[in-house]
Amino acid sequence: MRFSLLLPALLATATASWAADQPAALLLWEKGAPGSEARAAEPEKQEGSNVMNVHAPTITPYIPTKDATGVAVIIAPGGGHSKLCLGHEGYALAEWFRDHGIAAFVLKYRLAREKGSTYTIQDHAMADARRAIRTVRSRAQEWGINPERIGIMGFSAGGELAAFAAMKNDPGQADAADVIERVSSRPDFQALIYPGTSGLFSAEKGMPPLFIACGYSDRPDISEGMASLYLKYKAAGVKAELHIYSEAGHGFGYKPGTKTAAGRWPQRFTEWLQDSGLMNHEIKPTK
């Protein structure tokens, strides 16, 4: 009984410590996200490194302090649209990118499949993803970012958002009162890390170049779906790179110190950025 009473307090302390280590998050809409204004003040719910009850979407910036490449990537964590897995699919990777000269922004988006949610993927989560791209582009000079080198990366459910952002975007509204809405929501590149709903993804000429990483042992709609998506991109004449790791399944994310081939996919991603001409600064291999 005594242990059961202490456990919630210990979990709360661990969660508070974990959150305190992160840079300050920035609201995507200062006056409240469209459709969520009445709930913007509700506190988020945390379980370890997972977050739920997101009504005030944010990005958390990780800006390089040295050897900056000018490249930026927005990271959309997974979690089945019912939670955000901000540990191995968010903050840890953002730190790695920052330490290797790439600006990273961890996106907290609204959850369409959380119990009781009134949000949808296309109307709310995607609004958050596009707003994140616009926000980073609108502040590119301030953060030392090339406004033509801003991409989006997503894991699992977040991979859906990344794919949809590449499929449907706009150049911005030049006369918008909100200066952020004046800039483009088009990502300059996309990275899909074991994304879901691959059957809804399409490829057309002129879409942003694509990097894919997934596991051989993942669900067929992901492991086989990504092979099919690669072929769609090739047929459309859009450059794509595909990595299917033979010893990986779903959810491998990024965990510092992992020695497997799948664990080193961020290095392969940066090599792809270099080979694609998106990044000129060489990144030293991780030991």
What is the average per-residue pLDDT within 255-268? 96
Bridge-based pairing of strands 58-62 and 150-155 is: unpaired
Bridge-based pairing of strands 72-76 and 190-193 is: unpaired
pLDDT in tens, 14-65: 334 445 577 999 999 999 999 999 999 999 999 999 999 999 999 999 999 9
pLDDT in tens, 123-139: 999 999 999 999 999 99
Cα(172)–Cα(278) distance, integer angstroms: 22
In this prediction, residue 285 carries a pLDDT of 54
Cα(105)–Cα(113) distance, integer angstroms: 23
In this prediction, residue 8 carries a pLDDT of 34
pLDDT above 90: residue 283 = no
Contact indicator for 28, 55 with CB cutoff of 8 Å? no
Domain boundaries, the chain: 26-275
pTM of the model: 0.91
pLDDT in tens, 129-172: 999 999 999 999 999 999 999 999 999 999 999 999 999 999 99
In this prediction, residue 284 carries a pLDDT of 58
Higher pLDDT: 2 or 286? It is 286
Bridge-based pairing of strands 210-215 and 190-193 is: parallel
What is the average per-residue pLDDT within 203-226? 97
Contact indicator for 107, 65 with CB cutoff of 8 Å? no
pLDDT in tens, 225-244: 999 999 999 999 999 999 99
In this prediction, residue 197 carries a pLDDT of 86
Fold of 26-275: Rossmann fold (3.40.50)
Q: Which of 114, 186, 116, 189 minimizes the C-alpha distance to 157?
A: 114
The average confidence (pLDDT) of the chain is: 92
pLDDT above 70: residue 203 = yes
Task: Give the model's confidence band at 198: pLDDT under 50 very low, under 70 low, under 90 confident, else very high.
Answer: confident
